[in-house]
C-alpha cells in the first residue's frame, strides 16, 4: 500500500488539462461526432468512463472520444464544463448544482453510486487503542487529550462537507453535536494527510478508501466511520444519496440531445458490463491504460469496494436527491435547488429501455 499512499491522485498535481489513455495517440478512430469528456482522476470511482472507452461503447454510440480531460480535481472539471472545454463530466453532485447556482443551468443526467466513498473517518491507532472507537468518542477530551483535530483535504471541499454532516448528526455525551467539539483543518492530498495522521498532527482524517486501506494496512490508523457499512451510513444520512453523477450544461441538452443520449447509453452499458463482469476482467481492461501507478491487487481491491456502493440502474430518485440536499445546504450550496430544475432522467429511461433485457 506504500505505492498507493504516495501516488494516489498523482494526476491531481498536474497543471492544466491532460488527455488520459496512451492508446489514443497514433491510432485511427472510427468516424463519430467529437465530444469532450472529463473526470478528475482516472481511478475506478469513474470506472464507467474508463470501461466505456475501452469497450468502445462511445464509438458504438456514434461518439468520437479521443481521450479524457483529467485536470486532477473536481473544481477544475467544473471549470472545464462551465467554460465549454468539456461537454460531459462525471463527478460530485455538488458540481452541477454549483454551476446552476452561479446562473448557468447544469443538469444531473445519471448517478453511478449511492454513498459517498470519501466520507470515511479514520482515527489515529494510538487513540483507537485508548478507546476512541466511534465518532462520538472524538468529543471526549480525556481520551483524545485535546480538542480533536480533524482533517479534510481542504476547508470547503467535499470531504469537509460530508465530514461536517457526519459530525453534526452524531451526538456527544453532553448532547451536543460532535462537530462542536472538534477543530477542522485542511490536510491536503494523500502524502500530507496520511503523514499528518501518522505523525499525530491530526486526530482523525476524512479518507477515500485507498487512504483508509493505507492507514490500516500500515498500522497507524483505524476507521471509526466506514461508508461501506450500509447500516452505519443509513443511521447518519437516512438513505441513499446520488453522490457521483454524470452532468452536462442544460444548453447542451437543448442543442444536442442526440449526443447526450449517446453519452448516457455508453456509460449505462459500461455500468451493466461492470455489474456482470468478473473482478479480474475489469482489472485486465483498465489497469494498464489508466491505473498503472497502482499495483494490480490495489486495483482489484478498489473494484471490489466500489461494487458495494455503485447504483446499477443509474437512477436519481427525488427522495434520494432530497436526502442529499440536507447535506449540501448550506456548506456546499447557499439554498436548495428544486429536483425538477437539477435532474433530467429522460436519457436514462431511454438507455434502460434499449439495453436492459
- Under the banding of pLDDT at 50, 70 and 90, the label for residue 74 is confident
Taking the C-alpha atoms of residue 47 and residue 28, their distance in angstroms, rounded to an integer, is 24
Kindly tell me the sign of the dihedral angle through the C-alpha atoms of 343, 349, 351, 352: positive
pLDDT at 275: 98
In total, how many domains does the chain have? 2
> Concatenated DSSP letters for 101-116?
HTTS-EEEEEE-BSS-
pLDDT at 21: 43
> What are the DSSP E strand ranges found in 58-100?
63-64, 68-69, 88-92
Domain identity same for 260 and 340:
yes
Domain identity same for 87 and 143:
no
Cell readout for 298 is: 490495489
The model's pLDDT over 231-259, given as tens digits with 9 standing for 90+, comes to: 999 999 999 999 999 999 999 999 999 99
Taking the C-alpha atoms of residue 222 and residue 164, their distance in angstroms, rounded to an integer, is 19
> Which range of residues forms the domain containing residue 161?
120-237
Average pLDDT, the chain: 91
Q: What is the mean pLDDT of residues 47-72?
A: 96
Q: What is the mean pLDDT of residues 186-198?
A: 93
274: enclosing H helix or E strand: helix 257-276
Last residue of one domain, picked from the residues 237, 268, 291: 237
| Residue for grid cell 483535530 | 149
Which residues make beta-bridge pairs with 10?
Answer: none
Cell readout for 128 is: 483507537
Cβ-proximal residues to 190 (8 Å cutoff; 6+ apart), any chain = 4, 5, 6, 7, 8, 9, 210, 211, 214
Eight-class DSSP state of 343: B
Domain identity same for 332 and 298:
yes
Domain identity same for 86 and 128:
no
**pLDDT higher than 60, residue 111:** yes
Q: What is the mean pLDDT of residues 151-170?
A: 94
Q: What is the mean pLDDT of residues 276-297?
A: 95
> Concatenated DSSP letters for 189-222?
SHHHHHHHHHTTS-SEEEE-HHHHHHHHHTTSEE
The model's pLDDT over 195-233, given as tens digits with 9 standing for 90+, comes to: 999 999 999 999 999 899 999 999 999 999 999 999 999
Q: Are 116 and 162 in contact (CB under 8 A)?
A: yes
Domain identity same for 230 and 148:
yes
**pLDDT higher than 50, residue 7:** no
Cβ-proximal residues to 119 (8 Å cutoff; 6+ apart), any chain = 159, 162, 163, 166, 206, 225, 227, 233
Cβ-proximal residues to 167 (8 Å cutoff; 6+ apart), any chain = 135, 138, 150, 177, 178, 179, 182
Judged by average pLDDT, the poorest of 46-50, 135-139, 186-190, 335-339 is 186-190
**Nearest one of 262, 348, 344, 337 to 99, comparing CA atoms:** 337
**pLDDT higher than 50, residue 16:** no
**Nearest one of 236, 216, 224 to 164, comparing CA atoms:** 236
pLDDT at 175: 96
CATH number at residue 246: 3.40.190.10
Domain identity same for 76 and 132:
no
Domain identity same for 249 and 268:
yes
Query: What strands lie across the sheet with 148-152, from one edge to the other?
Result: 182-186, 148-152, 204-207, 120-124, 221-225
Domain identity same for 100 and 84:
yes
Domain identity same for 21 and 91:
yes
Percentage of residues in the chain having pLDDT higher than 90: 84
pLDDT at 73: 81
pLDDT at 31: 63
Last residue of one domain, picked from the residues 237, 265, 286: 237
**pLDDT higher than 70, residue 17:** no
Domain identity same for 133 and 107:
no
Bigger pLDDT: 14 vs 110:
110
Bigger pLDDT: 22 vs 31:
31
Taking the C-alpha atoms of residue 315 and residue 307, their distance in angstroms, rounded to an integer, is 16
**pLDDT higher than 60, residue 12:** no
Domain identity same for 102 and 167:
no
| Local structure of 127: helix, strand or coil | helix
Q: What is the mean pLDDT of residues 146-175?
A: 95
Intra-chain end-to-end CA distance of the chain, in Å = 40
Domain identity same for 321 and 231:
no
Q: What is the mean pLDDT of residues 296-310?
A: 95
331 alpha carbon, distance to own chain's centre? 17
**pLDDT higher than 80, residue 1:** no
The model's pLDDT over 257-284, given as tens digits with 9 standing for 90+, comes to: 999 999 999 999 999 999 999 999 999 9
Last residue of one domain, picked from the residues 215, 237, 259: 237
Amino acid at each position: 500500500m506504500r505505492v498507493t499512499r504516495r501516488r494516489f491522485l498523482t494526476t491531481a498535481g498536474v497543471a492544466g488539462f491532460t488527455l488520459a489513455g496512451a492508446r489514443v495517440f497514433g491510432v485511427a478512430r472510427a468516424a463519430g461526432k467529437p465530444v469532450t469528456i472529463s473526470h478528475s482522476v482516472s481511478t475506478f470511482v469513474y470506472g464507467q468512463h474508463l470501461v466505456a472507452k475501452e469497450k468502445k461503447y462511445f464509438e458504438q454510440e456514434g461518439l468520437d472520444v479521443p481521450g479524457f480531460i483529467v485536470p486532477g480535481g473536481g473544481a477544475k472539471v467544473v471549470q472545464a464544463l462551465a467554460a465549454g472545454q468539456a461537454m460531459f463530466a462525471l463527478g460530485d453532485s455538488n458540481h452541477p448544482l454549483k454551476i446552476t447556482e452561479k446562473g448557468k443551468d447544469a443538469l444531473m443526467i445519471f448517478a453511478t453510486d449511492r454513498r459517498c466513498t470519501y466520507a470515511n473517518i479514520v482515527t489515529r491507532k494510538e487513540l483507537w487503542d485508548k478507546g476512541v472507537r466511534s465518532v462520538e468518542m472524538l468529543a471526549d477530551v480525556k481520551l483524545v487529550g485535546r480538542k480533536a483535530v480533524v482533517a479534510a483535504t481542504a476547508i470547503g471541499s467535499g470531504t469537509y462537507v460530508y465530514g461536517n454532516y457526519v459530525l453534526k448528526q452524531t451526538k456527544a455525551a453532553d448532547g451536543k453535536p460532535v462537530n462542536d467539539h472538534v477543530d477542522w483543518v485542511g490536510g491536503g492530498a494523500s502524502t500530507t494527510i496520511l503523514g499528518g495522521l501518522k505523525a499525530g498532527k491530526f486526530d482523525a482524517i476524512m479518507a477515500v478508501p485507498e487512504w483508509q486501506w493505507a492507514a490500516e494496512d500500515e498500522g497507524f490508523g483505524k476507521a471509526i466511520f466506514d461508508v461501506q457499512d450500509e447500516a452505519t451510513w443509513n443511521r447518519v444520512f437516512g438513505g441513499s444519496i446520488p453522490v457521483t453523477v454524470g452532468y452536462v450544461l442544460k444548453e447542451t441538452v437543448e442543442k444536442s440531445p442526440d449526443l447526450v443520449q449517446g453519452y448516457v447509453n455508453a456509460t449505462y452499458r459500461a455500468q451493466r458490463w461492470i455489474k456482470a463482469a468478473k473482478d479480474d476482467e475489469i482489472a485486465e481492461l483498465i489497469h494498464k491504460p489508466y491505473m498503472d501507478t497502482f499495483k494490480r491487487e490495489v486495483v482489484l481491491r478498489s473494484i471490489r469496494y466500489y461494487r458495494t456502493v455503485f447504483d446499477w440502474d443509474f437512477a436519481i430518485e427525488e427522495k434520494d436527491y432530497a436526502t442529499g440536499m440536507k447535506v449540501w445546504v448550506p456548506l456546499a450550496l447557499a439554498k436548495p435547488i428544486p429536483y425538477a430544475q437539477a435532474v433530467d432522467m429522460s436519457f436514462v429511461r431511454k438507455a434502460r429501455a434499449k439495453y436492459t433485457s
